[in-house]
């Protein structure tokens, strides 16, 4: 393989942060407003944070990477402490994660806190999927371990089955991307079939099937993609769009992430998720240097990818 496993690990972590930072200035915008104001978002810009800054998505992915590096696995008791230690409210955290943190601060155990929100059903927001890259690369070669680790990394804040399922589908997409050789043409139909195997609910199964149909029809109109797959804050209205952005532009990291951000809505998270898959597929070399130069905490993020790779290759 021309692209090393190490490059793919680093590419997925940095890809998360790059997509997050690129989408940050247009989070909550409609695709038409993005088009009117910028045409497209191809450069880092200032938004609610300075140019090149990442948001909660990457801050939480950092927490997961730190836990795996320290504990050798996803230890949920450790992870929730790291999440709360790293928590910087300026980074635009989602409502459900903030609610869970507040309850834990009041002395409620994390599993009760996570379960108690939204009428005792837990959150099905995309917060578990957006941060999953470190888990996905670390367990890319073992689906059963991956599934267990995704569950532990998700349920500390997102207890709803759809929140966890979204994270599992996103993680599976990243793991598949790690395993593919980017020099060969990507079989997108086969990729979608593999994702269908991990779907548990009708909600996700229908969305993933729709991805396959839309790709076969060659649909690249972003308004159609938003209408059919969504650009929202729920796991099932953002994970499918992120995967679609990657599969539509599988041959270019830059084009995939620019497309994901152009969908608007939860643009930083959709950008982060597409960046995680595309970075895992191509490796870090495919990420434009002009973006990496502007990225906050670039060296630290890169070191997390390196350490995950070292730990992975050492444990074999």
Give 31 or 125: the residue with its C-beta nearer to Mg ion. Answer: 125
Q: Report if residue 268 touches Mg ion, rule: CB under 5 A.
A: yes
Can you read off the two tokens belonging to residue 23?
A: 């989408």
Q: Is 237 helix (H, G, I), strand (E, B) or coil?
A: helix
Q: How far is the CB of 271 from Mg ion (least distance, A)?
A: 9
Q: Report if residue 56 touches Mg ion, rule: CB under 5 A.
A: yes
Q: How far is the CB of 263 from Mg ion (least distance, A)?
A: 15
- The stretch among 29-37, 133-141, 264-272, 273-281 that binds Mg ion (CB under 5 A) is 264-272
The backbone torsions φ and ψ at residue 234, rounded to the nearest 5 degrees and listed phi first, read: -80, 155
**Best CA proximity match to 83, nearest among 103, 96, 97:** 97
Give 66 or 266: the residue with its C-beta nearer to Mg ion. Answer: 266
Give 56 or 165: the residue with its C-beta nearer to Mg ion. Answer: 56
Angle between helix 222-229 and helix 239-248 axes, rounded to 10 deg = 140
Q: How far is the CB of 249 from Mg ion (least distance, A)?
A: 22
User: Do residues 313 and 4 touch, judged by C-beta distance below 8 A?
Assistant: no
Q: Report if residue 66 touches Mg ion, rule: CB under 5 A.
A: no
> Segment 86-115, which members bind Mg ion (CB under 5 A)?
92
Give 214 or 272: the residue with its C-beta nearer to Mg ion. Answer: 272
Residue choice 55, 245, 262, 278 for contact with Mg ion (CB under 5 A):
55
Angle between helix 239-248 and helix 253-262 axes, rounded to 10 deg = 140
- The stretch among 78-86, 268-276, 287-295, 302-310 that binds Mg ion (CB under 5 A) is 268-276
Q: How far is the CB of 246 from Mg ion (least distance, A)?
A: 19
Q: How far is the CB of 269 from Mg ion (least distance, A)?
A: 5
User: Do residues 171 and 64 touch, judged by C-beta distance below 8 A?
Assistant: no
Task: Say how far apart CA 277 and CA 183 lie, in whole Å.
Answer: 16
* Residues 177, 182, 186: CA angle, nearest 5 degrees: 75
Q: Report if residue 57 touches Mg ion, rule: CB under 5 A.
A: yes
**Best CA proximity match to 253, nearest among 11, 34, 3:** 11
- The stretch among 41-49, 200-208, 227-235, 263-271 that binds Mg ion (CB under 5 A) is 263-271
Q: Please tell me the number of Cα atoms within 13 Å of 37 on its side-chain side.
A: 12
Give 65 or 192: the residue with its C-beta nearer to Mg ion. Answer: 65
Q: Which residues bind Mg ion (CB under 5 A)?
A: 55-57, 92, 268
């Amino acid at each position: 393989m021309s692209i090393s496993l190490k490059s793919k690990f680093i590419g997925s972590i940095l890809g998360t942060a790059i997509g997050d930072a690129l989408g940050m200035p247009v989070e909550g915008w409609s695709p038409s407003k993005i088009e009117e104001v910028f045409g497209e978002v191809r450069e880092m810009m200032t938004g609610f944070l300075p140019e090149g800054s990442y948001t909660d998505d990457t801050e939480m992915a950092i927490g997961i990477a730190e836990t795996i590096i320290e504990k050798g696995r996803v230890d949920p008791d450790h992870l929730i402490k790291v999440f709360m230690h790293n928590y910087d409210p300026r980074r635009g955290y989602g409502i459900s994660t903030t609610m869970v943190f507040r309850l834990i601060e009041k002395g409620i155990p994390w599993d009760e806190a996570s379960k108690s929100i939204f009428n005792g059903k837990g959150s099905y927001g995309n917060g578990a999927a957006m941060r999953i890259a470190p888990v996905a690369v670390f367990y890319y070669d073992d689906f059963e371990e991956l599934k267990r680790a995704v569950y532990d990394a998700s349920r500390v804040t997102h207890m709803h089955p759809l929140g966890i399922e979204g994270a599992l589908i996103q993680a599976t997409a990243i793991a598949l991307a790690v395993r593919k050789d980017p020099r060969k043409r990507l079989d997108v139909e086969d990729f979608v079939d593999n994702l269908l195997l991990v779907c548990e609910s009708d909600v996700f199964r229908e969305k993933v099937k729709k991805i396959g149909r839309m790709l076969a029809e060659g649909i690249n109109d972003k308004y159609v993609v938003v209408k059919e797959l969504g650009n929202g804050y729920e796991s099932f209205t953002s994970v499918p769009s992120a995967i679609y952005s990657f599969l539509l532009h599988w041959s270019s990291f830059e084009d995939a992430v620019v497309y994901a951000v152009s969908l608007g809505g939860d643009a930083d998270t959709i950008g982060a998720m597409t960046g995680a898959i595309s970075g895992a597929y191509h490796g870090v070399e495919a990420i434009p240097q002009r973006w990496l130069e502007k990225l906050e905490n670039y060296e630290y993020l890169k070191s997390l990818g390196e350490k995950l790779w070292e730990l992975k290759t050492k444990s074999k």
